Structure formats: C-alpha cells, structure tokens
Structure 1
Amino acid sequence: MTASLYLDRPSPVHRLNPVTKLVILLAIIVIVFAVPQWWVPAGIVLFVIVPAALLARVGRRLLTLFVVLLLPLLLVLVIVQGFFFPGAATVLWEWGPARLSVEGLLFALTTGSRLSALVLGSLVFVLTAHPARLMTSLTQSGMSPKIAYVISASLQIIPAFQERARSILLAQQARGLAITGSPVRRMRALLPLLGPLILGMITDVDERSTAMEARAFGATARPTSLALVDDPAAERITRWLVAAGAAAVVVLVIAGVIA
C-alpha cells in the first residue's frame, strides 16, 4: 500500500473532487500572501481550515501535526522576531541585546498566521485527498498525466521516506544497533541509516520508472481511467468562483483598495 498521510473518512470534504480542494488551497495561499493584514490568514485558519478539518473528522491528526511540525517553528519565530527585530521603535521590554518590540511581535504575528494558513491548509488537503484519486481527477480535467503524477507523488514523498527510515531502523536494531545514550552516540547511530535509506529511495524511483514504462505511461494517447472521479457542475462553478475571488483580491491589493 502506498504510504501517504491520507485518512479515509466518510465525510463531505473527502467526497469533494480533489481538483476542487486543490483550487481552494491555491486560492487560500494567494489571498494570505497578497493581503498584508495578519487577521486575514488568521481568520481563514479559524473559520475555513479548522471547520473543514472538523467536518472531515481529521482534527485530531491535524492537531498532532501542528504541535509536531508547526508549533516549534512558530515559537522560534516569536522569540527571534519579537526580541531581535531590526529597527524596532516601540520597545515593550528590554534586557541586554533582547528588545521586545511591538513591530517585532506584529511581524511575527503576520508571518506566523500566513505560515499557519499555508501549512494547515496543505495538511487538510493531504489528509483528505487520496493521491490516486487526485491523479485521476487531474487527468480527467485535462492536465498532462506526467504533471498529474508529479503532483500526486509529491504528497507521498515524506510519508514514504518516513516508512522506509522506520523499516531500516528496526532492521538495524535487530542487528544490535544501539540508539540510546548520549546525543553524540545517537548521532553516530544515525550514520548507518543514511546509506541504506538513500540507496533504497533511488531503487524505489528506478522501480517506479520501470513500472510506469511497462504501463505505457509516456504514450501520447490519453489513457482511460478504470474508476472515474465525480465532478458535479456545482463544484466546477465553485472552482471558477473561488479562482475569480482570489484574482479579485490580488487586483484590489495592487490597486491600493486593500492596504
């Protein structure tokens, strides 16, 4: 079974066409980086991404990934920018070279909210869009199968990497590799994992390439999918409206209407 972060749930979010979810994700990314105010990405996280995760019943997994992946980065961002922001004018508290400033906190809040919207939105998409279904829907929409495969395979890189690393670690431990002790010893224990991990990933790429060639993946004729992904007219209209809304926001920002 292909490794991925996808969680199978009987939810309306899962039943959406993956292209629809991809267009919404891209629109969110465009809007949060186009609008300078911090409350826009924060509002998208609170009123769009979090409700979508709860509706999709992947909220617990999303919270775990947030704590593991994003929370440490946000804490470092607040500390570095809040206390060491260059050119700080309004200083709230000072101790040696550290100067807690309003400008630094505002910059950290803006960057952190944008990063949260980007990462959490992407995680909800990955957790609710099956890679195979995504590739089929992209191909049905007229995208080149090669580009569709690249997009679909990118959702599986990190989980596949983690799964292979876990298998190699268990195999090395069965051979007597000790991974406990001082931090230096733990770092040394990681070295025997790098060689098999890198060679294994290269072998996996070669095997996938051979399998794809055997299935005439590079043929000019468009393949026929065994299972089609539903794409109702309402979702197609929604995609166009979402894309038009994101484009309108960009135009308003450039025109100075949204400052």
Structure 2
Amino acid sequence: MSLALQITGDSPLHRLNPLTKLAFAVTVTVCAFSLTMVWWPLLLFFGVVLPAVVVSGVTRRFLVMLFALWVPVALVVFVVQGFFYPDAERVVAEFGPLQLKYEGIVFAAQTAFRVMVLMGGFFLLLLTTRPSALMSAMTQRGTSPNIVYVIAAALQIVPALSARAQVILHAQQARGQTVKGLRGRVRALLPMAGPLIFGALADVGERAAAMETRGFGAVRRPTSLTEVPDSTAQRVARTAMGLCAVVAVAVNVLGVIR
C-alpha cells in the first residue's frame, strides 16, 4: 500500500531533484508572507505556482486537494477576522449584533491568499515527489537524520492516516455497520476514532524499532540505496530561490522600520 500522494509522471517537475521542489515551496511561502500587498499572494499563485502545476500534469488532483483543504480554512478566516478584527472602524454590513468590518475583510483576504500559496507550493511537492527520494536527497546533502525524519513523517502522515481510515471503514462495513450517506458516515466517526488513534501510536513504536535497527542517528554517514540525480543548474536555482526569500524578508523588515 502506497503511503505517498505522488502522481507518477515524467514531467520536467517530476525529474527535478526533490530539494529543488522543496526550495521552491519554501521560497514562494516566504515571499507570500513577507510582502504586505493583498494582491501579491494572488500574483505568486497564478503567476508562479499554478503554471508549475500545469506543467507537472497534476492539475486535477491539485485543485481537488486545494478545494478540500483551503476553502474551509478561508471561510473560517473570513468569518473570524471579518466580524472580530480588533480596532476596525469601517462597517460594511450588520447582522444583528455582529458587524462585518472592511479592515477585517482585507486582512482575512490577505491571510487566506497567503495560505493558498503555502498549500499550493507544498501540494506540488507532495504530488510530484516520492518521500523516499526526498529523504535520500537530503541525506546525500548531509542533512541531520532528525530533520530528515521529521520532514518525511510530515509528508507521510496524511496518506498513512487516510489508508488506515479506509481499512477501518471497510472492517466496519464487513461487520454490518452502515456507512452510506451523511448520517452513516457521522455514526462511523466515533467507532473509527479509537482504532485510528491507537493504530497511529502503534505505528510510532514500530517505526522507532525499525529506525534503531537501521542505525538511525549513527555517527557515520549511511550509504544511500538510491542516488538522487542533481545538477549544477539546480543548485544555482536553489541558491537563487534562497536569495529571493532573503530579499523578500529584507523588504518586509525595511518597510516595518520605515
């Protein structure tokens, strides 16, 4: 059973070193959060992230994931900030005792668009990269095993929980529990929660034992089974992306100082 969200393909993005795609995701996120213009995250998303998604050939899965995860977050941000933004003066609409504030709407839009860029960059990484390839690439570059494990675990936690939830759901169906329709799925949530949580905790113990057997944290650098190809052009590109992130942060700091 695959525990990755990657869609197999042969696009230029699939062939890139995973570190290059990780640097891209981090850079667009830093740039989105560094500059204060409301339209800036939208420009990054539609001008940089979305074209990369189209080139990679994972547009459909990307949009499904983005709609499923970003839309609920955006709605919550708009409700909370729109009605409860502190020190706001311009009232757009009133709903009983609640007042929708212009300043809150602007801040909510900026935050939601920033989160969209963050999700977009990392969804692209997930959909075009095998976690094992990313781990191998980071190990080859001399990254600390602790950091490698944290990143790999973060990439695999959602697919792992989703796969386990499907197994539990099928087991419940085999025992005669109805899970069809909205009411059936709501009823299945509570019986599913216990096995899902305890199963995840059991996986932690199994992973710890497996990592100890394989010499995790050993002083000597381990030999990688898979050599991930890299190139000078990609290393230069990663450096350029890092400089872009630094410049964006510097512009933000100078703007605050002024």
TM over 0.5: yes
TM-aligned CA deviation for residue 186 of structure 1:
5.2
Query: How far apart are the structure 2 equivalents of 1:145 and 1:5?
Result: 23
**What pairs with 1:69-218 in structure 2 (closer than 5 Å)?**
69-179=69-179, 183=183, 187-218=186-217
Q: Deviations over 1:201-238 (max 9, x none)?
A: 22222222222233223322111112211110011111
Deviating beyond 4 angstroms after TM superposition, the runs of 4 or more aligned structure 1 residues are 180-183, 185-188
Q: Paired residue for 1:246?
A: 245
State whether residues 6 and 130 of structure 1, in contact with CA within 8 Å, keep that contact through their aligned partners in structure 2. yes
Distance 1:102 1:206, change over 3 A: same
State whether residues 83 and 104 of structure 1, in contact with CA within 8 Å, keep that contact through their aligned partners in structure 2. yes
Query: How far apart are the structure 1 equivalents of 2:159 and 2:57?
Result: 20
Distance 1:38 1:223, change over 3 A: same
Query: How far apart are the structure 1 equivalents of 2:208 and 2:86?
Result: 49
TM-aligned CA deviation for residue 249 of structure 1:
1.9
Query: How far apart are the structure 2 equivalents of 1:99 and 1:195?
Result: 41
| Structure 2: segments with no counterpart, 5+ residues | none
TM-aligned CA deviation for residue 182 of structure 1:
7.8
TM-aligned CA deviation for residue 150 of structure 1:
2.0
Distance 1:131 1:68, change over 3 A: same
Q: Paired residue for 2:236?
A: 237
Distance 1:157 1:181, change over 3 A: closer
Q: Secondary structure at the match of 1:143?
A: coil
Distance 1:155 1:100, change over 3 A: same
Percent pairwise identity = 45
TM-aligned CA deviation for residue 180 of structure 1:
5.1
Q: Deviations over 1:31-81 (max 9, x none)?
A: 221211122211111111101111111110111112211112213333443
Aligned length: 258
Query: How far apart are the structure 1 equivalents of 2:255 and 2:117?
Result: 23
Q: Paired residue for 2:55?
A: 55
Q: Paired residue for 2:29?
A: 29
State whether residues 27 and 243 of structure 1, in contact with CA within 8 Å, keep that contact through their aligned partners in structure 2. yes
Distance 1:194 1:96, change over 3 A: closer
Q: Deviations over 1:96-131 (max 9, x none)?
A: 224333212211111111111111111111111210
Q: CA RMSD for the aligned pairs? A: 2.2
| Structure 1: segments with no counterpart, 5+ residues | none
TM-aligned CA deviation for residue 257 of structure 1:
8.5
Q: Secondary structure at the match of 2:92?
A: strand
TM-aligned CA deviation for residue 200 of structure 1:
1.8
